[in-house]
């Protein structure tokens, strides 16, 4: 792993947020699928406060088909779906974004691990028109 992020696309780092390949190569962000959904743990880039974002399975499935789970709490930025969250310590934006491709991989991993069933995935996809 390159410690200086030379191997990360500049499109994956913007507005104090990490996206795509930046999430997986930084040592400060841990992303994994869990029974609850897709979990990202990291430190605030401003104050160093530990942060954790858990996208529940309906949110992950919605993102996997390119939809905003809840438009009032999410926004699109450079092809990524970003939850509108602030650090509890300094109140600055800390939200790492998730691409539809990342969400698709998380859904596949979740089905494989039996965290979510394929019929549930299909039902959620239908709800979002996909």
pLDDT of residue 24: 45
In a domain, 4, yes or no: no
In a domain, 1, yes or no: no
In a domain, 37, yes or no: yes
In a domain, 85, yes or no: yes
Residue-wise pLDDT for 88-117, tens only, equals 899 998 878 889 999 999 999 999 999 999
In a domain, 5, yes or no: no
pLDDT of residue 29: 67
Q: Which of 7, 21, 40, 129 is nearest to 78 (CA)?
A: 21
Residues of the chain with pLDDT under 70: 1-29
Number of domains in the chain: 1
In a domain, 6, yes or no: no
In a domain, 32, yes or no: yes
Domain range spanning residue 112?
18-127
In a domain, 2, yes or no: no
Distance CA 93, CA 128 (A): 27
């Amino acid at each position: 792993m390159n410690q200086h992020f030379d191997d990360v696309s500049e499109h994956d780092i913007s507005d104090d947020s990490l996206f795509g390949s930046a999430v997986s190569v930084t040592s400060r962000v841990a992303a994994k699928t869990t029974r609850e959904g897709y979990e990202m743990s990291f430190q605030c880039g401003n104050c160093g406060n530990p942060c954790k974002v858990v996208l529940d399975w309906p949110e992950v499935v919605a993102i996997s088909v390119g939809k905003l789970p809840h438009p009032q709490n999410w926004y699109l930025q450079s092809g990524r779906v970003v939850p509108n969250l602030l650090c509890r310590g300094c109140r600055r934006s800390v939200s790492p974004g998730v691409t539809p491709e990342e969400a698709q991989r998380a859904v596949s991993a979740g089905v494989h691990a039996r965290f979510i069933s394929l019929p549930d995935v299909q039902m959620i996809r239908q709800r979002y028109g996909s």
